[in-house]
Amino acid sequence: MPQHYRDIPVPPRVNRLPHTRGGMPVPWTTPWTSGEERIIHHPTTGPTITCDCTLGEGSPRFGEQCPLRQRRAMLERRCGVCGTPIKPTSTCVFTGCTPQAHVAEPPTHPRCLAFAMRVCPRLVDLHDRAFVFICREYDLGERRAVKVQEAPSDEPQPVSVWFPLGDPQAHLGVLDFYMAVPRPLQLVPAPEWLTGRAPALR
Ligand SMILES: [Zn+2]
Ligand SMILES: [Zn+2]
């Protein structure tokens, strides 16, 4: 069970985010119903999914990521929970459900992740099988949707494919998210990180 967010001190950076009507802070990368996603042709990234939602307007769509803010967080080393930059000299942490070293959730401040892992129902559900990736830096790749046809009679199906950041070949597919490869990689099971290594919240 998630702990109630009122029982845990909210890190000040997280408290500045828009809140739900119930008073829970909404992560910076969560999309809002005030906007819609659509495909544009971007001068640099080619076919790209964009989104025009406004933070705090409409209702939050928990469990999803706004493609625009996800990519901005990855490119600018911003925390996916609070949205503020993570200093180049500070540790950043990622979460993922497999020990594979490429992740679609942006980097976070350790304190912001410790808060989110205690109160966010989705993260609490994943708790026992999630990992925390601890690193100083990370490399980026592009996740692109391309259509693949297995046999001449089949309908083409969208499949996600990885490309190195900036690869012109990538323009064959539609960009939705950037992926991070943390380095140097230190991998810790989430429960162990939360009990033994996460910063104290009080
Ligand atoms: Zn959006
Ligand atoms: Zn943060």
> For 32-79, what is each residue's pLDDT tens digit?
999 999 999 999 999 999 999 999 999 999 989 999 999 999 999 999
* Per-residue pLDDT tens digits for 138-157: 999 999 998 887 888 888 88
pLDDT of 201 higher than 70: yes
Q: Is residue 202 part of a domain?
A: no
Of 81-85, 113-117, 153-157, 186-190, which one has max mean pLDDT? 81-85
Q: How many domains does the chain have?
A: 1
Query: Which contiguous run of DSSP H or E holds residue 12?
Result: helix 12-15
How many A from CA of 171 to the centre of ligand 2? 32
Q: Is 75 left (phi over 0), alpha (psi -120 to 50) or beta?
A: alpha
pLDDT at 98: 82
**Range of 53's domain?**
5-196
- Closest among 105, 100, 43 to 79, alpha carbons compared: 105
Q: Is residue 73 part of a domain?
A: yes
How many A from CA of 176 to the centre of ligand 1? 12
pLDDT at 5: 67
How many A from CA of 80 to the centre of ligand 2? 7
- How far apart CA 30 and CA 114 sit, in angstroms, is 18
Mean of all residue pLDDT scores within the chain: 91
Q: Which residue has the tokens 């967010």?
A: 5
How many A from CA of 125 to the centre of ligand 1? 24
Q: Is residue 201 part of a domain?
A: no
* Per-residue pLDDT tens digits for 79-110: 999 999 999 999 999 998 887 778 999 999 99
CB 142 within 8 A of CB 170: yes
pLDDT at 155: 85
Q: What residues contact 38, with CB distance under 8 A and at least 6 apart? A: 49, 50, 51
pLDDT at 1: 54
Three-state DSSP state, 5: helix
Q: Is residue 42 part of a domain?
A: yes
Count of C-beta atoms within a 10 Å radius of residue 168: 8
